[in-house]
Amino acid sequence: MDLGGLFQWFQQQAQYVVYTILIIVLISCIWKRAWILAVVSMLGIGFVTIFVVNPQIIEGLSGWIATRVSIGG
Contact 3, 9 (CB under 8 A): no
Dihedral over alpha carbons 9, 14, 15, 16 (to 10 degrees): 90
| Mean pLDDT to the nearest integer, 20-33 | 91
Element (H, E) at 61: helix 57-69
Q: What is the mean pLDDT of residues 44-53?
A: 84
∠ CA(61), CA(62), CA(66), 5° rounding? 120
Phi-psi category of 48—alpha, beta or left, where left has phi over 0 and alpha has psi -120 to 50? alpha
Average pLDDT over residues 24-28: 92
> What's the pLDDT at 1?
55
Question: Domain spans of the chain?
Answer: 14-69
CA-to-CA distance for 53 and 12, rounded, in angstroms?
8
